Amino acid sequence: MPRFCYYQRDELTIVDLEKLALVKAEGNYTEFFYMGGEKTTLTTGLSNVEQLIKQSFASNALPCPYVRLGRSCIINENYLFKIDAIKQRIILSDFAGRHIVIKVSKQVARTYKETINRLFHAEDSEENE
């Protein structure tokens, strides 16, 4: 189970990457959103968190389901439900009634939508061979 531990001066936070849905930059802080509704904030930048996530999956020899979208957020693609370029939003869902709506730029939404579409079509063509 991929996790990482973040030590701050007065507290220690363990981040469970299987349950984490969204990581969002907020100034000098980074907010963590879980599908269950839990939320926590750490005093570190998004780039540092991105590296911690990658290291956690690499050390467990697992593929990393996290992708950075623009400068402000990282999402867990295991929860990806919908990309709406017109409304400029991405919806993450646990498919059990909980969801998180993320506001993104139109360019980020379009680019990500095209990337996911190509990925699924590439998988389809590989299966047909």
Of 25-34, 36-45, 120-129, the one with minimum mean pLDDT is 120-129
Spell out where 1-59 has E strands. 3-7, 12-16, 20-26, 29-34, 39-42
pLDDT band, residue 4 (cuts 50/70/90): very high
Looking at this protein, which amino acid is placed at residue 122?
Answer: A
For 11-35, how does the pLDDT look when each residue is reduced to its tens digit (9 = 90+)?
999 999 999 999 999 988 999 999 9
Tokens of 126: 């590989």
For 90-119, how does the pLDDT look when each residue is reduced to its tens digit (9 = 90+)?
999 999 999 999 999 999 999 999 999 998
Q: Say which residues have a Cβ less than 8 Å from residue 62's Cβ, sequence separation at least 6.
A: 2
